[in-house]
Structure 1
Amino acid sequence: MIYKVNAELKNKLVPMFENIDSTIVLSYLQGHMGDAWVDNLETPTVAQITVGIFVFFAGDPTTKEAAELLCNLPEFTLAIVDSDEWKNRIESIHNGKFEKFHRYRFEKNPEHLNKSHILNFLSSLPEGYEIKKIDSNIANGPSFQELSEDFVSQFKSIDDFIKRGVGYSIIHEGKVVTAATSFSVYDDGIEIEIATHPEYRRKGLATIVASSLILDCLDNGKYPSWDGANIESVELAKKLGYVFKETYDTYFINHNE
């Protein structure tokens, strides 16, 4: 049997997840967003943290409760673990229902992000385009919401996002064509989410909107953490000054397949 963790028990999970280098884990452990489940509320030996579609597992993967946790998933899941034993358990339980791929982790060092270098990218905004900080009017607009549901979906509401999160958009002909937001928040920063409309890609817009968000974070003493989903994201991060650290395995699981 598994149990949902309440706020008072979060600290018990900190040692279990210390080997997973993710600010999204910190978002939960520091009380900002997400949920967790364990096998035992007093002395947990296996645990799950879920923030949106990201799901992290730690502890003993051999228990029957681990199998329960591995089925306690959103409809679409990106699962991340820190051992081959966990990977084998995922592949066994979700045989035929998962795709295994690499994500790309970067060093979390603000000294790598040179504000003067990043500021230079803002001057390349094409004529007819406008950068705007995301407010409630933009966030409630259909072009913003259609671009990516992950911009604000980890927050309780759009108002909650405006209060606790941060984001920038580029507007063209009255529509949001690219945006960069805080996918999640933790004590010392955010995890970045970026999306660009397919018709507006390869124009340098993602670089510009990401630069705006990064500069805002640095100006406010927050770290803009970057975790790449593909090679294009990796190259953009390097262009902005991030230093690549390592690849790691991620499992896309279609739980309802």
Structure 2
Amino acid sequence: MIYEADIIQRKKLSSMFENIDSTIILSCLQGHMGTAWVDDLENPTVAQITVGIFVFYAGNPHTKEAEELLYNLHDFTLAIVNDDTWKDRIESVHQGSIQKFQRYRFEKNPDHFDRNYLQNLLSHLPKGYELKKIDASLAQEPSLHELSEDFICQFQSIEDFMNRGVGFAVLHNGKVVCGATSFSVYNDGIEIEIATHPEYRRKNLATVTAAALILYCLDIGIYSNWDGANMESVLLAEKLGYILKESYDTYFIDTKVKE
């Protein structure tokens, strides 16, 4: 049997996940968002953390509760572990419904950013486009959510996003065509979510929007973490000042395949 851990009980899981470098894990362990499930609330030996589409596992992968946790998923999941035995379990349990690919981590050091350089990037916004900090009105704009449902959905409401999150958007003819927001939050920062409408790419919009978000975070003393889903994301991150740390295995799991 598995149990959902409350905010106080999540603190017991820190040592289990200490070898997975992810601010999304911190978001859950620190009680900001997401859920945590364990085999035992007092002395957990296996655990699962879920924030949005991201799922992380740690502990003993061989127990029956571990297998139960491996099925405790949404329809579409990105599963991340830091152990070959866990990878084998994921590949065995979800055989036929997974795709393995690489994501990319970056060093977490605000000193890597050049404020003057980032400020200069803001001037690259093409004529006819408008950069705006996301306010309560813009947060309800349908074109923002059509661009990425992950801009705000980890928060309980738009009001919650306005209180705890942050984001910037580029508008063209009144529609959001690029956005960069806090996918998740943790004590010392945010995890960036960024997306550009396919018809508006190669116009420096993502560069400008991300630069604005990074500068804002620097100004208020929090870190804007970047985790790349592909090489295009890596190149953009490096352009902004991030330094690549490593690539790591990620599993896209489509549970509907087995239905």
1:40 matched to 2:28? The reply is no
Cross-structure match for 1:240: 240
The answer (yes or no) to whether the contact 2:106–2:226 under 8 Å persists in 1 is yes
Cross-structure match for 2:88: 88
Report the alpha carbon displacement of residue 162 of structure 1 after superposing the two structures with TM: 1.1
- Residues 147-186 of structure 1 aligned to structure 2 (within 5 Å): 147-186=147-186
Counterpart of 1:18, as a letter, is: E
1:140 matched to 2:145? The reply is no
1:199 matched to 2:203? The reply is no
Report the alpha carbon displacement of residue 7 of structure 1 after superposing the two structures with TM: 1.7
SS of equivalent to 1:178: strand
Cross-structure match for 1:231: 231
The answer (yes or no) to whether the contact 2:99–2:252 under 8 Å persists in 1 is yes
Give CA-to-partner distance per residue, 1:157-184, whole Å, 9 cap, x none.
1111111000000011010000000000
Normalising by structure 1, what TM-score? 0.99
Structure 2 distance, partners of 1:4, 1:126, is: 48
Q: Which runs of 5+ in 2 are unaligned?
A: none
1:187 matched to 2:151? The reply is no
Counterpart of 1:238, as a letter, is: E
Structure 2 distance, partners of 1:220, 1:255, is: 40
Report the alpha carbon displacement of residue 213 of structure 1 after superposing the two structures with TM: 0.3
- Residues 1-40 of structure 1 aligned to structure 2 (within 5 Å): 1-40=1-40
Cross-structure match for 1:113: 113
Report the alpha carbon displacement of residue 74 of structure 1 after superposing the two structures with TM: 1.1
Counterpart of 1:31, as a letter, is: G
Structure 2 distance, partners of 1:60, 1:102, is: 24
Structure 2 distance, partners of 1:202, 1:31, is: 38
Structure 1 distance, partners of 2:160, 2:228, is: 25
Counterpart of 1:92, as a letter, is: S
Give CA-to-partner distance per residue, 1:48-90, whole Å, 9 cap, x none.
0000010000000011110000000011100000100000000
SS of equivalent to 1:33: coil
Report the alpha carbon displacement of residue 126 of structure 1 after superposing the two structures with TM: 0.9
Cross-structure match for 2:59: 59
1:102 matched to 2:118? The reply is no
The answer (yes or no) to whether the contact 2:9–2:41 under 8 Å persists in 1 is yes
SS of equivalent to 2:101: strand
Counterpart of 1:90, as a letter, is: I
The answer (yes or no) to whether the contact 2:3–2:41 under 8 Å persists in 1 is yes
Report the alpha carbon displacement of residue 103 of structure 1 after superposing the two structures with TM: 0.1
Report the alpha carbon displacement of residue 198 of structure 1 after superposing the two structures with TM: 0.5
Give CA-to-partner distance per residue, 1:96-129, whole Å, 9 cap, x none.
0000000000000011011111111001111111
1:75 matched to 2:61? The reply is no
Give CA-to-partner distance per residue, 1:24-68, whole Å, 9 cap, x none.
000011110000000011110000000001000000001111000
Report the alpha carbon displacement of residue 205 of structure 1 after superposing the two structures with TM: 0.5
SS of equivalent to 2:155: coil
Normalising by structure 2, what TM-score? 0.98
Structure 1 distance, partners of 2:8, 2:19, is: 22
The answer (yes or no) to whether the contact 2:7–2:30 under 8 Å persists in 1 is no
Structure 1 distance, partners of 2:237, 2:7, is: 34
SS of equivalent to 1:183: strand
Structure 2 distance, partners of 1:30, 1:11, is: 7
**Runs of 4+ deviating beyond 2 Å:** none
